[in-house]
Each structure stands twice: as structure tokens, then as C-alpha cells.
Amino acid sequence: MAEREFDEFYAGNYGRFVVQLYAVTGSLAEAEDAVQEAFARASVHWGRIGRYDSPEAWVRRVALNVAYTGLRRARRVVEVLARTGPPASTPLPAESLELVEALKALPMPFRQVLVLHYLADLPVERIAGDLGIAVGTAKSRLARARQALARQLVDGEEEVGSAQR
């Protein structure tokens, strides 16, 4: 029942909110992003928000806050770029590109522990804390992630080798 009520609320208000936020932001993409984020947050708490006198006001306020935060962030980026110039292009070696492709094939929890351990150079205890998991879980996940990554890299080499023949 609550899902259907939310779906009806969303269908009846989404377009109107996008128009309102578009008028505020001047960017249709930013308006859509802000409204989608506001509705996503509302859906999680719909049991409470749906009982408000004006759930529309709550969603509108959240969308405006999201848009305002995005505009502030964009303004800071523009200020930094005006002061420092655009960042220099960083060419990635072929090995890095292959590694990223292999990582993409792994489940997100595996990617997280591998990147935090090897690229961010964090100890397992810190990884566990950052991810909100037990240290034993982080160790186990890291071991399984190493095995899965090794399989991905070997499979990738085999594909390249057979394509070159």
C-alpha cells in the first residue's frame, strides 16, 4: 500500500518539481538530478514522510538543498580552476587500464577492499572500520578478492594471447 502511495505521489509531482528546480538552477540536468535524489530519499522514509501535512514541501526542500549544494560545489570547482588552470592530463599506462578493466568485472565489495588496501595503502583494520565490517570479514574478502582478480587478469591475458595468434 505504501509503495503504491509513493508511486502515485512521485508520478503526480515529479514533472512539476523538475520545472521548479530548473527555474532555480538554470540546468535541466541539475534539476532532474536534484529532484531524483529528493524522491529517492523520500522513498526510503515514505512511511513517515507520507503522513506529513505536506510531503510535497519536504521533497521540494530536499531538492532545493541538493541543488544548492551542487551549485556551491560547482562554484568552488570553477574558482579553483580559474586560479590553477585545468589539471594536466595524466596518461595511464596500459597495465593500469588492464587492471581497471579486471577490477570492473569484480563485485563491488571485492573492488573496495582491493583499492583501499593496495591503492590507498590502508591496513585491514582501517578498511574494516571504513566499510563498517568486521576485521575477519575484511581479511576474508581481501583474500577472495585477490583470487578473483588473479583469475580476471589471467583470463584477460589468455584472451589477448589468442587474439594475437
Grade residue 1 by pLDDT with cuts at 50, 70 and 90: low
pLDDT, tens only, 57-78: 999 999 999 998 877 777 777 7
**pLDDT attached to residue 154:** 85
In terms of Cβ atoms closer than 10 Å to its own Cβ (0-12, 13-18, 19+), residue 59 is buried
Instruction: Confirm if 66 and 37 have CB atoms less than 8 A apart.
Output: yes
CATH of domain 94-164: 1.10.10.10
**pLDDT attached to residue 153:** 86
**pLDDT attached to residue 51:** 94
Domain residue spans in the chain?
A: 2-84, 94-164
Grade residue 101 by pLDDT with cuts at 50, 70 and 90: confident
- Average of pLDDT values for 41-50? 94
**Mean pLDDT, the chain, whole residue set:** 86
Rounded Cα gap, residues 35 and 51, in angstroms: 20
**pLDDT attached to residue 163:** 44
Task: Give the predicted TM-score (pTM) of the model.
Answer: 0.52
Rounded Cα gap, residues 151 and 165, in angstroms: 21
Decide whether 2-84 matches 94-164 in CATH topology.
no
Rounded Cα gap, residues 139 and 134, in angstroms: 9
- Percentage above 90 pLDDT, the chain: 53
Instruction: Confirm if 153 and 98 have CB atoms less than 8 A apart.
Output: yes
CATH of domain 2-84: 1.10.1740
- Percentage above 70 pLDDT, the chain: 92
**pLDDT attached to residue 97:** 78
pLDDT, tens only, 122-162: 999 999 998 999 999 999 999 999 999 999 888 765 554 44
Grade residue 3 by pLDDT with cuts at 50, 70 and 90: confident
